[in-house]
C-alpha cells in the first residue's frame, strides 16, 4: 500500500513539473557556431553558441520564447522537467552569454548545448543540439 501511495505521489509530482514546463517556439534550435563533430582544438577553446527561432534572456526571465544556454560536457542530456544541475559538466550561462573561452584537459570530450527557461528547466519540446565529439590536442 505504501509503495502504491508513493508511486502515485511521484507520478503526480512529475506530471505537475511537466505541465509547468515552458513551451519552446516551433522549429527552435541551438547549435555550435564554430565547432564541428570530430574537430581537433587546442586550449583555450572558444565555443560560440547559436540559437534560431527563440531569443536569449537571462536566468529568472519569464519572457515567452526565450531561454539561456547550458553547455553539457562529457555528460548525458539533462532530464526534462527538473532544473539542470550546476557542476563542472553542466555549465550555466544565466547572464545571457553566447560564447565562452575556457580550457579542457587534453583528450576526447563530448559537448552538447541545451536551452532552458528562466528556472533552468528545459523547454517543451526540448531545444538541444546534437552531441559533438572534439579532441583537445596538447
State the average pLDDT for the chain.
89
pLDDT of res. 112: 98
Tally helices (H) and strands (E) across the chain: 1, 10
3 — pLDDT class (breaks 50, 70, 90): very low
Residue 58 neighbours by CB under 8 Å, 6+ apart = 68, 94, 95, 96, 118
Helix (H, G, I), strand (E, B) or coil at 54: coil
> pTM for this one?
0.85
Give the structural domain span for 98.
2-137
How many domains does the chain fold into?
A: 1
CATH number of the structural domain spanning residue 36: 2.60.40.10
> Distance between CA atoms of 98 and 111, rounded to whole angstroms?
15
Q: What is the mean pLDDT of residues 26-42?
A: 98
Amino acid at each position: 500500500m505504501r509503495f502504491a501511495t508513493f508511486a502515485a505521489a511521484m507520478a503526480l509530482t512529475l506530471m505537475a513539473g511537466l505541465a509547468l514546463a515552458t513551451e519552446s517556439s516551433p522549429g527552435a534550435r541551438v547549435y555550435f557556431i564554430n565547432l564541428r563533430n570530430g574537430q581537433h582544438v587546442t586550449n583555450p577553446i572558444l565555443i560560440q553558441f547559436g540559437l534560431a527561432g527563440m531569443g536569449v534572456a537571462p536566468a529568472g526571465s519569464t519572457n515567452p520564447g526565450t531561454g539561456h544556454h547550458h553547455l553539457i560536457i562529457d555528460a548525458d542530456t539533462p532530464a526534462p522537467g527538473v532544473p539542470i544541475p550546476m557542476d563542472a559538466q553542466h555549465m550555466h550561462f544565466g547572464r545571457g552569454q553566447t560564447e565562452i573561452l575556457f580550457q579542457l584537459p587534453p583528450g576526447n570530450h563530448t559537448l552538447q548545448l541545451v536551452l532552458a527557461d528562466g528556472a533552468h528547466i528545459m523547454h517543451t519540446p526540448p531545444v538541444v543540439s546534437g552531441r559533438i565529439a572534439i579532441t583537445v590536442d596538447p
